[in-house]
Amino acid sequence: MQRIIFESAPEFIIVCLLVGIAYASILYINTKRPWNKTINIVLFVSRAILVSFLSILLLGPIVKQITNYFERPLYLIVLDNSASVAQVVDSVGQQQLMAQIHTMQEALADKGYEVLIQDLEGNPVDNSPGDVASASNLNGVLNAIAGRYEGRNIAGVIMATDGIYNSGLSPLYAMYNFPVHTIGIGDTLDRLDIAIKNVAYNRIAYQGNKFPIRAEVQIKNLPSQTITATLSTRGRMIDRQTKTVSGDELVAFDFHPDASEQGIQKYDITLNTHPDERNTQNNQTSVFIDVVEGKKKILLIASAPHPDIKALREVIDQNPNYEFTLYIPGVKEQPAAVLQPQNVDLVIFHQGPDLKGKTRRLFQTFSQSRVSMLFILGQQTDLPYMAQENMPITFENAPQDYDEVTPIINQAFSNFSLSPEVHTAVAGYPPVTVHYGKVRIPNSATALLYQKIGSIVTDKPLLTVDIRDDRKIGIMLGEGMWRWRLNEFDRTESSDSFDELFGKLIQFLSTTEDKRKFRSYPIEQEFSETEPVVFESQVYNDIFEPVFGNTISIEITDETGRKSDYTYVTSPGNIRYQIGGLNEGVYRYRSSTLINGTTEQVRGEFAVIERDTELQNLTADFDMLRKLAANTGGRFVNAANMEGLRDYLCQTESRTIIHSEETYDAIINIKWVFWLLVALVAVEWTLRKYHGSY
């Protein structure tokens, strides 16, 4: 529907028509002409229309266009294509189900509905369910529909599923703005089953230690008898345990193998099967343990006990990758081998070297090594001796007094990041005691914390970090930081901010910088069998700027020794390479490239895991489907009674929504108006030219 609106009063249209007639009259009435009367009338009308139309355009007419769009109500049919359905419903049953689905689609389409069929992953379905999904996330697919078709006229969702979900939340605890009609498919019989429901283990174990693996086994409908669980690796049995069970029961098998070999190790857990067991694929599983060389060793040396030591120890002990050792002469002794630099990743000196000389010898030993160091200065610290050993801090004059200062975070610190909660917590920490005097630090050092005296923020560092020839040194200029941890716990009942601050500091200081010019590694240690293995490769020049165009060769070796070779060329924005089709197992890789005529290589391991969560449970949950339909205003039927749901839905009148869209456009912008004016001018000019007027 169209309507013309004028910016001026519509009465001016009469004036425009009179102007056009007057203009044409002057040209073609009572004038000598070389053409007949009929041609003169045509010329008169053409000029009158042309001038009138041009005059009307001066009034600014606007065309209001109203367009109506008719949106049919939409039904979405979701077909469960998970492995739990494919395992129970054979190909004939799936074909029959698809035929019934298409019949329902046609019946609803005849009633005026738009009907789309998709699987759990949102892919359209034609004549077959498509690829088998590795997991069932019923809540996820319903939320995806609500988001994808937001604002659409959704009449409802029809979900044909077994009701088993093993990913995401239960659909019973979510709200949907459309009814969900459910069709139950699958087997609801609670059959005899011996299944590994869960395996609890640490992904990292340290070489030479024992580590726990707990397998939780769910027993269903099993008469009283013994079941056996076996733990093996590379075909070699490590442990076997037997337990007597009956009926429905959850039992646990605890294994404690030795982490004897470094690298990613695959451990297989297998249960004996029962003759009446229908699903035996959930009787076995595999776990992958990354056996590493050992923990990072953190050594703290102090001249005397102090609450600061306890605060730091609490932080370090939270990280399972750290091994904390404390040495206090005469109080907490350690073997001489533990105090050697080659056996330490980070040494912390609390008020060391001390004025009494108890820790001076160890300070001299470690200062001359390449071990990273963290100093916590205090009233017992021998500052002159510390300066003699070329540590990155000096006082212009020997301090004789002390200040009470509070910390403030340096916003420009970039070696590692801290959460906003840490910034907020640090601002409220109580004072610590620092030496009074002018302190100098090298330009290479960066302050993590500044000193705040009262309300004045100074440029004096309170906690600073320096990197010299790949060696990291941290210096805390004050003692009493134990008060920070207690103060935070008193205010918030946690010490998360303090633990994050010093946890990241210790992690930064104890981590060795990777100065290799070639780095190539899988972005994860474990990949699912259904996803590609992704490698990332980085090449650097002599000043460690990234360079591109290098050919990366990747050789992958599986557990049987079979090798596969892959090659790709790096480019800006393309430093990753995907490898698909790898089966479950542990793989070794060797990546290589040519840098300045020299072949650089990187070796490592990764694991591909088969996650068969779909096969853990094959018993359909129709009760959940009934509740889901009732909660959303839908209906539940089993697959044998789909006709009843089809007839019920077809009885409901489809209500089409009309969407109106209004557009405004000036007539002068309309193309046909332009061509009309050109046509009028062309007709008049052609007739006059033909009859000799021009």
Q: Does residue 617 lie within any of the structural domains?
A: no
| Burial (Cβ within 10 Å: 0-12, 13-18, ≥19) of residue 20 | buried
Q: Which pTM does this prediction carry?
A: 0.54
Q: Residue 13 is inside which H or E element, if any?
A: helix 12-28
Q: What is the pLDDT of residues 237-263, one digit of tens each?
A: 999 999 988 888 889 999 999 888 888
372 and 237 in one domain? no
More confident residue, 502 or 11: 502
Q: How many CA atoms are closer than 13 Å to the CA of 244, on its beta-carbon side?
A: 2
Percent of the chain with pLDDT over 70: 97
86 and 41 in one domain? no
Hey, how many other C-beta atoms are within 10 angstroms of the C-beta on 22? 11
pLDDT of residue 541: 85
440 and 365 in one domain? yes
135 and 110 in one domain? yes
Q: What is the pLDDT of residues 556-611, one digit of tens each?
A: 999 889 999 999 999 998 899 999 989 888 999 999 999 988 899 999 889 998 76
Contact by Cβ (8 Å): 539, 596 = no
The most confident of 409-413, 527-531, 614-618, by mean pLDDT: 409-413
252 and 144 in one domain? no
pLDDT of residue 530: 77
Integer Cα distance of 290 and 251 in angstroms: 26
Q: Does residue 616 lie within any of the structural domains?
A: no
What mean pLDDT is predicted for residues 505-509? 91
CATH number for 437: 3.40.50.880
In sequence order, the 6+-apart residues with CB closer than 8 A to the CB of 597 are none
Q: Does residue 246 lie within any of the structural domains?
A: yes
Integer Cα distance of 131 and 525 in angstroms: 26
529 and 501 in one domain? no
pLDDT bucket at 414, cuts 50 / 70 / 90: confident
124 and 85 in one domain? yes
Q: Which of 304, 297, 354, 344 is nearest to 328 (CA)?
A: 304
Average pLDDT, the chain: 86
Contact by Cβ (8 Å): 116, 124 = yes
Residue 666 has pLDDT above 80, yes or no: no
Bridge partners, residue 415, by sequence: none
Enumerate helices (H) and strands (E) in the chain, giving the number of each: 14, 35
Integer Cα distance of 516 and 541 in angstroms: 10
Q: Does residue 513 lie within any of the structural domains?
A: no
Q: What is the pLDDT of residues 212-239, one digit of tens each?
A: 999 998 888 888 888 999 999 888 899 9
pLDDT of residue 484: 95
Residue 149 has pLDDT above 80, yes or no: yes
What is the total count of domains within the chain? 5
Integer Cα distance of 690 and 126 in angstroms: 67
172 and 208 in one domain? no
CATH number for 585: 2.60.40.1930
Residue 470 has pLDDT above 80, yes or no: no
CATH number for 165: 3.40.50
Percent of the chain with pLDDT over 90: 35
Q: What is the DSSP letter of 177?
A: S
Residue 135 has pLDDT above 80, yes or no: no
668 and 646 in one domain? no
Residue 499 has pLDDT above 70, yes or no: yes
In sequence order, the 6+-apart residues with CB closer than 8 A to the CB of 415 are 446, 448, 465, 508
416 and 470 in one domain? yes
**Domain hosting residue 568, numbered range:** 518-609
